[in-house]
A and B are shown apart, each in its own frame.
Chain A
């Protein structure tokens, strides 16, 4: 069979068809369009630390308000006590935080957090590094400002953030002021009693 010569309108129609098919393929079958160039691809250590702190502090505050403070005012049998294991009652919010922090580390974690104080009831909860000492002093002086720094511990670099830990409830003040092992007993509501230290290792 002899091929007929292609007329211009036929060529234009063929090209339009190919273009339409290509457009349809691009629309429905091709990869989705490239990601937005301004999308965040990483999270900074500071944002990571701030986010951790926000969650930890909110959980802690909720436990303090909904459990500790209520039970302190209640004369019922259920109590909150530092000796919760021996006395078969509930732990304090500081102890709850430490238990969770420990559990996270059991299977390996690429961050850590802990509670510290310049006036610790348990001496082991005083500052354990030079950075902790400086950071706790800083947030005690300037409770509205967080303390951020990099530190090296045992050759490992960390991003370290220290957030003021305030006695927000009456029960916090009472516990710290009445505890026989407390080195400071003049806390008032709103005072800084310590700091939450969050560390993000910058190398594994």
Chain B
């Protein structure tokens, strides 16, 4: 704690010594008009469902090149929320980015107010019409909203057959069977019973193991606007777990998309895809089921990035409990470097919820941001900005991040976005019972290139495309993901921090369809729109 106080003093000193120099991450929520408050409907965290919070998604719904923001809210729910705080539910909100740093609330016109106890949202173009659609995940029936392309959405849940009624907490769009249509994986949590009490401490609420877990669901997109539940056929029907989030990425870089599921108090799962949409669970075998002290504590989400620059995708897991930094090696196994990386010591006091990878200074390596918050009480907690030295050694970069990092919040969702298209990764946060927060990045001196992908033979969102970039003698490997986090999905465009490199010598895209596309000698510091060859 002393170190954080020292950081605060140092930050103030730097600000004083350099008048006019903006802090790297500035809270611009109010100026941007992003007025949203999450409704807790209680005066305390009275049970496990109330501990989780709500999120949403970043998406460019009007296809104008600026990302918009959709945030979901809770509703009064008997046995979960307090009858004393019954009062009216605020709608979910769709904020349209005007392109000048401000947003306007277009919820009513878009028809996206929603009505449920919302947890999260997943954005993807499921009908390949060029407009990003939205799947809203609720405690209770989920909803699929089709983007009509005219600023309005229609609820197509019933027709599509994707109204799973579980305790939904996360979802991801990905093309499981590589047929060019996005499929949908829905992660469910647990079946809550308000009569359950803690055996050991009647004053505390019971943990996840006190409730039965719910199964997750895989919906296969038939390509005609309807979906079929293929959970069992895909091998994904596994009862007894309580999912908190799902991440879709190509773990073994074999050209198809795999799934990593973060579970609450049971081992996490890595499902490898056989390319046909059938999955095999290998988490224990490859070393990503438990943390390095042999536990399976409450995992929140996995941030997927290449943290040590070896071209392999690694995982950073946030937890109520010891987190993990799983570095993948050439044999396909993972080493948990939580302690050796410095992350174990820095994250020790904090419950990490939304953890995201971002190159906040555009120096060419994947740094981390973690939205922290207590799981039991509401006084607020500091957030973490963690700077990577390029070899997966991290230091606390609060002093570089600005005054926000001395502010206590009840952080939950975290997403990376570039809302003003300046190439500096910004942050969007949700808090439990508090406001959404937009942090504008004013630092990031390095060069950059952002890729905005559009599939033709592959899914239109371009999810699953493997990317290799070479610039200034360095090579980066990454992937176009449906960027789910804990509750909140980020900007789907692929951002590359390039450090001092002023040209990209070679850029290779391997689309999910199998096509490869190569570009050479590309100018940097711009957003490059790339369409897959037909």
Write the residues of chain A forming the contact surface with B, with a CB cutoff of 8 angstroms.
42, 98, 101-102, 105-110, 112-114, 124, 127-130, 132, 151-156, 197, 199, 201, 203-204
Cα of A108 to Cα of B242 in the assembled complex, Å: 11
7 tightest A-B contacts by CB?
A: A204-B207, A155-B351, A153-B322, A114-B294, A128-B292, A156-B321, A112-B295
Question: B295, A199: Cβ atoms under 8 Å?
Answer: yes
A129: contacting residue among B290, B322, B350, CB under 8 A: B322
Contacts of B317-361 to chain A: CB distance below 8 A: 318-323, 335-336, 338-339, 344-345, 347-352
B334 to chain A, nearest CB (A): 10
List chain A residues, Cβ under 8 A from B349. Answer: 152, 155
Question: B240, A127: Cβ atoms under 8 Å?
Answer: no
A203: contacting residue among B204, B240, B318, CB under 8 A: B204
A93 to chain B, nearest CB (A): 17
Question: A197, B293: Cβ atoms under 8 Å?
Answer: yes
The verdict on B206 contacting chain A, using a C-beta distance below 8 Å, is yes
List chain B residues, Cβ under 8 A from A108. Answer: 208-209, 265-266, 296
**Can you name 18 extra interface pairs (CB under 8 A) apart from A154-B347, A156-B320?**
A107-B240, A107-B266, A108-B296, A112-B293, A113-B294, A114-B294, A128-B293, A128-B322, A128-B338, A129-B293, A129-B344, A130-B344, A155-B320, A155-B351, A156-B319, A156-B322, A203-B375, A204-B209
Contacts of B267-306 to chain A: CB distance below 8 A: 267, 284, 290, 292-297
* Chain A facing B: main interface SS: mixed
* Chain B facing A: main interface SS: loop
A179 to chain B, nearest CB (A): 20
List chain B residues, Cβ under 8 A from A197. Answer: 293
Identify the closest chain B residue to A111 (Cβ).
B295
List chain A residues, Cβ under 8 A from B206. Answer: 204
Query: Could you give 24 example pairs across A and B, Cβ below 8 Å?
Result: A42-B200, A98-B294, A102-B290, A105-B267, A105-B294, A105-B295, A105-B296, A106-B296, A110-B209, A112-B293, A114-B293, A124-B335, A128-B344, A129-B293, A129-B322, A132-B293, A154-B318, A154-B319, A154-B322, A155-B320, A155-B350, A155-B381, A156-B322, A199-B295
The verdict on B372 contacting chain A, using a C-beta distance below 8 Å, is yes
Cα of A198 to Cα of B187 in the assembled complex, Å: 32
List chain B residues, Cβ under 8 A from A204. Answer: 204, 206-209, 265
Q: How many residues of B contact A (CB 8 A)?
A: 41
The verdict on B376 contacting chain A, using a C-beta distance below 8 Å, is yes
Cα of A7 to Cα of B12 in the assembled complex, Å: 97
List chain A residues, Cβ under 8 A from B323. Answer: 154
The verdict on B426 contacting chain A, using a C-beta distance below 8 Å, is no
List chain B residues, Cβ under 8 A from A106. Answer: 266-267, 296
Cα of A68 to Cα of B389 in the assembled complex, Å: 45
List chain B residues, Cβ under 8 A from A152. Answer: 348-349
Question: B374, A127: Cβ atoms under 8 Å?
Answer: no
B320 to chain A, nearest CB (A): 5
Contacts of B384-399 to chain A: CB distance below 8 A: none
List chain B residues, Cβ under 8 A from A129. Answer: 293, 322, 339, 344, 348
List chain A residues, Cβ under 8 A from B348. Answer: 129-130, 151-154
List chain B residues, Cβ under 8 A from A156. Answer: 297, 319-322, 351
A42 to chain B, nearest CB (A): 8
Cα of A126 to Cα of B207 in the assembled complex, Å: 30
List chain B residues, Cβ under 8 A from A109. Answer: 296
List chain A residues, Cβ under 8 A from B339. Answer: 127-129
Question: A155, B374: Cβ atoms under 8 Å?
Answer: yes
Identify the closest chain A residue to B349 (Cβ).
A152
List chain A residues, Cβ under 8 A from B376. Answer: 203
A71 to chain B, nearest CB (A): 27
List chain B residues, Cβ under 8 A from A98. Answer: 294
Question: B336, A154: Cβ atoms under 8 Å?
Answer: no
Cα of A20 to Cα of B427 in the assembled complex, Å: 80
List chain B residues, Cβ under 8 A from A128. Answer: 292-293, 322, 336, 338-339, 344
B300 to chain A, nearest CB (A): 10
A80 to chain B, nearest CB (A): 22
List chain B residues, Cβ under 8 A from A110. Answer: 209
Identify the closest chain A residue to B198 (Cβ).
A204
Question: B296, A155: Cβ atoms under 8 Å?
Answer: no
Residue of B200, B290, B293, B351 contacting most chain A CB atoms (<10 Å):
B293
Question: B320, A154: Cβ atoms under 8 Å?
Answer: yes
List chain A residues, Cβ under 8 A from B321. Answer: 153-156, 201
A79 to chain B, nearest CB (A): 24
A155: contacting residue among B200, B284, B375, CB under 8 A: B375
A12 to chain B, nearest CB (A): 50
Cα of A130 to Cα of B343 in the assembled complex, Å: 12
Cα of A86 to Cα of B187 in the assembled complex, Å: 36
Residue interface bits B516-532, CB-to-A below 8 A is 1, else 0: 00000000000000000
Residue interface bits B231-274, CB-to-A below 8 A is 1, else 0: 00000000010000000000000000000000001110000000
Cα of A128 to Cα of B344 in the assembled complex, Å: 8
List chain A residues, Cβ under 8 A from B200. Answer: 42
Question: B266, A102: Cβ atoms under 8 Å?
Answer: no
List chain B residues, Cβ under 8 A from A154. Answer: 297, 318-323, 347-348, 350-352
Residue of A101, A106, A127, A128 contacting most chain B CB atoms (<10 Å):
A128
Residue interface bits B198-212, CB-to-A below 8 A is 1, else 0: 001000101111000
A195 to chain B, nearest CB (A): 13
Question: A155, B352: Cβ atoms under 8 Å?
Answer: yes
Residue of A110, A112, A114, A130 contacting most chain B CB atoms (<10 Å):
A112
List chain A residues, Cβ under 8 A from B319. Answer: 154, 156
B45 to chain A, nearest CB (A): 12
B522 to chain A, nearest CB (A): 41
Cα of A154 to Cα of B348 in the assembled complex, Å: 5
Identify the closest chain A residue to B381 (Cβ).
A155
List chain A residues, Cβ under 8 A from B290. Answer: 102, 105
Cα of A115 to Cα of B208 in the assembled complex, Å: 27
